[in-house]
Amino acid sequence: MFLKIYWTTLLALGLSLSLCAQASVQGVVTDYEGEPLPGANVLLLPSGKGAATDLEGRFRIENVEPGSYQLQASFLGYQSHEQELQLSSGDPAELRIQLQPRAFSTEPLIVKATRAQATTPMAYVTLDAEELEPLNLGQDMPFLLRWTPSAVATSDAGAGVGYTGIRIRGTDPTRINVTVNGIPINDAESQGVFWVNMPDFGSSADDIQIQRGVGTSTNGAGAFGATINIRTTALKAEPYANLNASYGSFNTQRANVEFGTGLLNGKFTIDGRLSRITSDGFIDRAESDLRSYYLSAAYLGKSSSLRFITFSGRERTYQAWYGVPENILESGNRTFNLAGTEQPEEDGGPYENEVDNYGQDHFQLIYNNQLTENWNLNTALHYTKGAGYFEQYKAGEDFQEYGFAPITLGDTTIGRTDLVRRLWLDNDFYGGVYALNYVSDNDRLDATLGGSYHYYEGLHFGEVIWARFASGSEIEDRFYENDAEKSDFNIYTRFNYELLPGLHAYLDLQYRRVGYEFQGFDRQGDNVTQQVTLDFFNPKAGLFYRIDERAEVFASFAVANREPNRNDFTETTADSRPEPERLYDTELGYERRWDKGALRLNAYYMYYRDQLVLNGEVNDVGAYTRVNVDRSYRLGLEVTGGLQLLPKLRLEGNLTLSRNKVPAFTEFVDVYDEDFNYIGQEGIQREETDLSFSPEIISAAGLTYDVLPETKNSDLSISLQHKYVGEQYVDNSSDPNNRLEAYNFADLRIAYVLRPGFMRELGLRLQVQNVFDQLYETNAYSYRYQLDGNTVVDRWLFPQAGRNFLLALHLGF
């Protein structure tokens, strides 16, 4: 027993002496401004021991033998730090390591290449994930962005879920360029973005930049008034997991899970999200069932990175795009839905499957390489697969329109039938983008050579899946089929050069070529395959001057060209086909910052040649298509600012004042007699009319009170946001009987976040929308005609929900 106690005591003493002889090293890693760098790698050579910094940039390496070592500290986007270190037993060495930035960054250069930077002479706003999070309770992207300057959002279903859209400076969605990590998202043919195909995408956005006006050269559809650039690729150094759930009015539900591994072994990261959103909608039967995922995997080398990203959206929404007829709306029925009502009630109507059913899968492969200290290269490949249909019950359809032969039953000939049809779109979109960037040693010159090539293949076809009288048809019989192919090539070069201290000159030159092959009408009225090729040159130039640390001013001029969309080609002949549009955009800006406030002014003049508008004219194949208006313009002033009223109370807001005019054009209206027999068309000369959907006043303001300022343990804030949109005309006639009345609404938000020790955060958010229960409509369409000498306007409007709420729970680990 004595020997056992002796040897145990001796062993414990030896271990104790051994541990006492060990050394350790600890410290903090920051950037050149002293901000901590979480996830930085610190390594002791030749021991091989190391550690990663925590959220405060701190690290600690223990149990190191005393002696001489070489310490290495590295963080992606910064120059590596190396120093000799002599360690001895006793108190740990305390180090403060400051890393200097280098040109290479985890942000893909494709994103940087299509974005405005601090000295770019353009009007823009960038929202980071922290600013988006309080707004993101499951509604579509336009509703997250509707508080930004000059923005107006609308929802077909009336509650922000399902089909939604956004206008910026009166520019419609088909003229707003949208990219994700620099990859085009706009549909190649219609040139619009259907946000319903990207549900809950705000949860995967690290930041969003909105450029107003022409903006920088970008990839994809021509920016003709604004760009929305979404980035999803920021490095998250620490592992995380988030669970989000929300419930609200109209049985709106959202659930998602987000996760990330953090930086593994200093080289790998994986991030993902899985979401589902459902809603019954404010409008009758306007339910939505939306599913999506996002997955990103990245390898981070010493001077390069490779990232694979895939995201997908699946949507099934009951159609609500007909709007509410004005007479029904005035009767007090704000939720009426015409969709599906062609099926008689005695047959079970409204038709229960009058739905839009579509899915898109996106794949991106992005490679980033820091070639030298001055040169870096980024390339990306992408592929998008989309397929889906919308289904309709149609009553009393003519057999001839579907290629059916009449049916003879005894003495009766049947030439019409009730049927159900599906209109399909099956498309593939793929291509590549690149950007080569140079930054001079003295940082005075920043130059980029970039470009892209994209190819689109779209198959449009219609199927009859049921008919009361089927004639000689088969199930899923195709009654039309139309293939289209489109190529889009562009190359641009951009320079930002500091001429004098604080004075930067900007030049951006882009060449773009578009080729489109489609089925359209020839001069004989036959539908044949046709092809067009369009070449565009889009120059941009400007000056930016930093007056001092608190003030700056800029001026710029840009040219943008844009091709007509699918219907402009397929529903015209070569004689009636419209020309491309052109925009000349002049921007002037000034910003001033104070200790407790900031103010930004931006004046713009957007002058259009050959802008495409609907004027009611029927072309040579009997279709209502858009025509070129010789001249039109938008002249406006945007004011953005914020003020810290009290230590816990701040005010933020924006205001847009504008004139949006067509100096002269001819409007055509159909003329009918008293028995509603069509007589022809009458042309009406219009002078100095308003561009449609272009309110002269748009404003937003937010008042936020931090009840419990953000601390390590918790925070509580209450905010009230108000939006005002002036009256806007539904067409370009400036007819006072065909306008949307001015409207306003306010949202109340309460956010409480608790940070208990066992989890990162526990959040609860309440959003009461339209808190004062205003009645308003955000969108409409109309048909103007003359009946027995009187002008008649039939209108369909899109009312929005009254007071409603969303309640969200957030669990962060």
For 659, counting Cβ atoms within 10 Å of its Cβ (0-12 exposed, 13-18 middle, 19+ buried), the class is middle
Q: What is the pLDDT of residue 7?
A: 37
In tens, the pLDDT along 280-296 reads: 999 999 999 999 999 99
Interatomic CA distance for residues 499 and 544, integer angstroms = 10
Q: What is the pLDDT of residue 292?
A: 98
Strand partners, 743: 725
Residue keyed to tokens 């969303």: 806
CB atoms within 10 A of CB 47: 15
Confidence of residue 771 (pLDDT cuts 50, 70, 90): very high
Q: What is the pLDDT of residue 16?
A: 36
**Which tokens in the block code for residue 393?**
């019950």
Evaluate if pTM is beyond 0.75: yes
Which residues, other chains included, contact 286 with Cβ-Cβ below 8 Å and sequence gap of 6+? 156, 157, 158, 162, 280, 317, 318, 319, 320, 337
Q: In whole angstroms, how large is the CA radius of gyration of the chain?
A: 30
pLDDT at 18 over 50: no
Average confidence score pLDDT of the chain: 90
In tens, the pLDDT along 707-756 reads: 986 666 778 999 999 999 999 999 999 999 999 999 999 999 999 999 88
Amino acid at 268: F
Q: Which of 24-28, 83-87, 768-772 has the highest mean pLDDT?
A: 768-772
Backbone phi and psi for residue 413, each to the nearest 5 degrees, phi listed first: -110, 125
Q: What sign for the dihedral angle of Cα 197, 201, 202, 208? A: negative
Given a contact cutoff of 8 angstroms between Cβ atoms, the answer to whether 201 and 258 are in contact is: no
Give 20 or 557, the one with higher predicted confidence: 557
Of 303, 457, 436, give the one whose Cα is nearest residue 377.
436
Q: What is the pLDDT of residue 10?
A: 33
- Taking residues 183-205, report their average pLDDT: 95
Interatomic CA distance for residues 147 and 698, integer angstroms = 10
Q: What is the pLDDT of residue 12?
A: 37
CB atoms within 10 A of CB 215: 30
In tens, the pLDDT along 633-666 reads: 999 999 999 999 998 999 999 999 999 999 999 9
Strand partners, 413: 408
Q: What is the pLDDT of residue 274?
A: 98
What strands, in cross-sheet order, belong to the sheet with 67-74?
49-52, 41-45, 67-74, 81-87
Helices (H) and strands (E) in the chain, counts: 6, 44
Of 422, 373, 387, give the one whose Cα is nearest residue 402.
422
In tens, the pLDDT along 505-562 reads: 999 999 999 999 998 887 777 888 999 999 999 999 999 999 998 999 999 999 999 9
CB atoms within 10 A of CB 525: 10
CB atoms within 10 A of CB 143: 23
- Taking residues 699-710, report their average pLDDT: 88
Interatomic CA distance for residues 112 and 526, integer angstroms = 47
Amino acid at 461: F
pLDDT at 39 over 70: yes
Q: What is the pLDDT of residue 19?
A: 36
Q: pLDDT above 90 covers what percent of the chain?
A: 69
Q: Which helix (H) or strand (E) holds 43?
A: strand 41-45
- Lowest-pLDDT range of 78-92, 237-251, 273-287: 78-92
Residue-level length of the chain: 813
Q: What is the pLDDT of residue 417?
A: 93
In tens, the pLDDT along 69-86 reads: 888 888 766 777 888 888
In the DSSP assignment, the letter for residue 732 is S
pLDDT at 5 over 60: no
- Is-cis flag, bond preceding 350, omega within 30? yes
In tens, the pLDDT along 776-789 reads: 999 999 999 999 88
